[in-house]
Amino acid sequence: MIRSQRWKGAAFTVPFQLGFAFLYLLPIGYAVYQSLFLQKQSGLGLGGATTEFVGLENYQHGLTDSAFMTSILRVVVFACVQIPFMLLVSLVLALFLDAVSARVAGRFRIVLLVPYMIPGVVAAIVWINLYSPAVGPLTPLGDLFGFDWNFFAPSMVWPAIGNLLTWHGIGYNMVIIYAALQGVPRELFEAARLDGASELRIALSIKIPFVRGALVLTALLSIIQMLQIFNEPALFRNVTPETVSDSFTPIMIIYNQAFNAANYHYAAALSVLLALILGVASFVFYRLTSREAD
């Protein structure tokens, strides 16, 4: 390629590079810089606040902050339950879709994708009302079968949010897994059938190993999303502030530190910590799953 042409090619990416520098690199750098300072009140706070350089003190504070660590643990435990469950349901549905006739599969695929078309905030609003003892149909339905469930009770908040996320995510994950299933060479199934393999055996030994990549990817995307969960708990908090505290998830803590406690420096340190945790978690997960494949 001619030299001048190369630079013209680079020019196509210049708007993006400038924007990326301004909207990604600069904010990250700014957050890291800010995280090294702390606003300190002098005396009784009468003399005004001074900003001091404190080095890694904010990070030290964050790592020993039990509210922050608890929120991370809470989200991780929740992720370990909800993500495998959601992906298992998505996988089973994708296998079902793959096994029924193409016409039926097409119809069900659209029906199962309906939740994905609904914005996350609206989905949460709808489910909060479904759960609501005042207007939702689930409470009378529970009475009918003898369940006395209260979805806004502390023990039910995670199952309630988990159900909401599962409902919202099944269709999307199913479509990705289903698309991967379409790539399995059909000849393999005939060969297996000639060998006398049952449909279940074919699903377990051929189809599932074949869609491993799609499963790893959907799991990774779900993990990244889950560690940053904010919308759903924030909406639940709007309705039941007594069950969902303002330090329920890491991002909620960060948001509150920045905007309600006006402790921006600490919020910056926590968001850098969360980014590091997210990076490490993604890397470890990717490593674990790709080693198994070999």
Partner 1 sequence: MALTENRKENNAQTAAVPPCRRTVRRLTRPDPASRSRGGQRFMLLGLALAGVYSLFPVYWLMIAATKDRVGLYQSNGLWFSGWHLWDNLQQVFTYDGGIFLRWTANSFLYAGVGSLGGTLIALATGYGLARFDFPGRGAVFACVVGSFLIPIALLTLPLYLLFSAIGLVDTPWAMLIPCLINPFSVYLAKVYTEATIPFELLEAARIDGAGELRIFFSIVLRMMTTGGATVFLLAFVNTWNAFFLPLTVLRGEENWTLNLGLYNWIGKRQESGIDVTSLVLTGALLSIIPMAIMMVAMRRYWRTGVTLGALK
| Sites for partner 1 among residues 219-248 (CB under 8 A) | 221, 224, 227-228, 230-231, 234-235, 238-239, 241
Of 96-155, which residues contact partner 1 (CB under 8 A)? Answer: 96-97, 99-102, 104, 108, 111-112, 114-115, 117-123, 125-130, 134-137, 140
Q: Which stretch binds partner 1 (CB under 8 A): 50-58, 59-67, 147-155, 251-259?
A: 251-259
- The pattern of x and - marking residues 260 through 289 that bind partner 1 according to CB under 8 A reads ----x--xx--xx-xx--xx--x-------
Among positions 69, 217, 246, 256, the unique one binding partner 1 when judged by CB under 8 A: 217
Residues 48-87 that bind partner 1 (CB under 8 A): none
- Judged by CB under 8 A, the residue of 54, 91, 165, 214 near partner 1 is 214
How many residues contact partner 1, by CB under 8 A? 108
Q: Closest CB to partner 1 among 46 and 115?
A: 115
Say if residues 143 and 62 touch (Cβ distance below 8 Å). Answer: no
Shortest distance (Å) from residue 41 CB to partner 1 = 20
Q: Dump the DSSP string for the chain.
A: --HHHHHHHHHHTHHHHHHHIIIIIHHHHHHHHHTTEEEEE-TTTTT-EEEEE-TTHHHHHHHT-HHHHHHHHHHHHHHHHHHHHHHHHHHHHHHHHHHS-HHHHHHHHHHHHGGGGS-HHHHHHHHHHHH-TTT-SHHHHHHHTT----TTSGGGHHHHHHHHHHHHHHHHHHHHHHHHHHTS-HHHHHHHHHTT--HHHHIIIIIHHHTHHHHHHHHHHHHHHHHT--HHHHHHHHH-TTTS-TTSSHHHHHHHHHHTS--HHHHHHHHHHHHHHHHHHHHHHHHHHHHHH-
| Cβ distance to partner 1 smaller for residue 44 or 294 | 294
- 153 close to 116: Cβ distance less than 8 angstroms: no
Closer to partner 1 by Cβ: residue 158 or 167: 167
Contact pattern for partner 1 over residues 167 through 206, marking x by CB under 8 A: x--xxx--xx--xx-----xxxxxxxxxx-x-x-----xx
Query: CB–CB of 278/229 below 8 Å?
Result: no
The whole-angstrom separation of Cα 244 and Cα 248 is: 6
Nearer to partner 1 by Cβ, of 54 and 215: the residue is: 215
Between residues 84 and 279, which has the closer beta carbon with respect to partner 1? Answer: 279
Q: Which is nearer to partner 1, 6 or 40 (CB)?
A: 6
Give, as ranges, the residues between 14 and 33 that touch partner 1 (CB under 8 A): 15-17, 19-20, 23-24, 26-28, 30-31
Shortest distance, CB of residue 50 to partner 1, whole angstroms? 18
